[in-house]
Amino acid sequence: MNVEEWEIRPGGMLVQRRNSESNQTSVQVPTIKVRVKYGSTYHEVCINSIASFGELKKMLAEHTGLHHQDQKLIYKKKERDSKLYLDVAGVKNGSKMVLVEDIASQERRCLEMIQNAKIEKASKSLSQIRLQVDKLAEQVTVLEASASRGERITDNLIGMLMTELVKLDEIAIEGDLKLQKRMQERRVQKCIEILDMLKLNSKAGKIPLQKKDKIPKPLQKHQVQSKQRNLTEQRSSAATTNGTFTICRGHDKMGNF
């Protein structure tokens, strides 16, 4: 047994060594030359005999400048599908074909290009608006915290949010991008509602107690004690006055008697 003709597989099995050359097919696929008429011009293309009509269209696109999706290949008075193979259709060396421009396919492709361009533009606009809304939402959060400390609310931020809302309304899209658009609209509307509520609370004077009670607590206690002392003095003075008046009246009666 020749050791060089055997090898050990990873599982430990001893098998005959594989030859990479033996796996290669000895049959070579022939190359054929086809002649394609496009308008008044003939184009000769060398291609593999087992290639498809779609591959032939891509090669013809280089010669004619016509997009491969906008081509119709007619062989033996029949339009051939791009997935069909040349040898299956009976194409041989020297076969002749006719190339015709597919107007309907060209229109569909143009519409798809326009639609894709609109989607790409809308997606870019949404991304820009989303970044701007993120910044404005952060400002709303900061302003909400400032309002809790009694600071004044301005209308500048609301105007900026309304501008972004108008931009969103001008974007006309469908599908997944439409859901993203609605989400951004809800975010903007929520921020505007928060600002409106803060403004109403500010106008109504609903300020936290720590801001409304500007007098220090020790001073308030002193004032309360002073008021109580004044009230006590007033009551004492009133009682003294009433007693004097009563004694005087008693003296008069005794004198008259």
pLDDT of residue 36: 92
Closest CA to 185 of 162, 218, 202: 162
Measure the CA–CA gap between 38 and 46, rounded to whole angstroms: 16
pLDDT of residue 58: 92
pLDDT of residue 102: 87
Q: 23-60: string of b/e by CB count within 10 Å (b at 16+)?
A: eeeeeeeeebebebebeeeebeeebeeebbbbbbbebb
Average pLDDT, the chain: 76
Q: What is the pLDDT along the chain (257 residues), one digit of tens a residue?
A: 565 567 666 666 666 666 554 444 445 778 899 999 998 889 999 998 889 999 999 999 988 888 888 899 999 989 999 899 998 888 999 899 999 988 888 888 888 888 888 888 888 989 999 999 999 888 888 887 777 666 666 668 888 888 888 888 888 877 778 888 889 999 999 988 888 888 777 666 554 433 334 444 444 445 545 655 665 666 555 555 455 444 444 444 444 43
Return the axis-axis angle of helices 156-170 and 176-203, rounded to nearest 10°: 160
The string of pLDDT tens digits covering residues 151-166 is: 666 668 888 888 888 8
pLDDT of residue 99: 92
Measure the CA–CA gap between 125 and 116, rounded to whole angstroms: 14
Residue for token pair 């109403």: 200
pLDDT of residue 34: 92
pLDDT of residue 206: 52
pLDDT of residue 17: 63
- pTM score of the predicted model: 0.48
pLDDT of residue 198: 82
pLDDT of residue 4: 59
pLDDT of residue 231: 57
Structure tokens at 172: 């006309």
pLDDT of residue 106: 84
Find the radius of gyration of the CA atoms of the chain. 48
Contact at 8 Å (CB) between 47 and 32?
Answer: yes
**Three-state DSSP class for 37?**
strand
Closest CA to 48 of 75, 95, 86, 99: 86
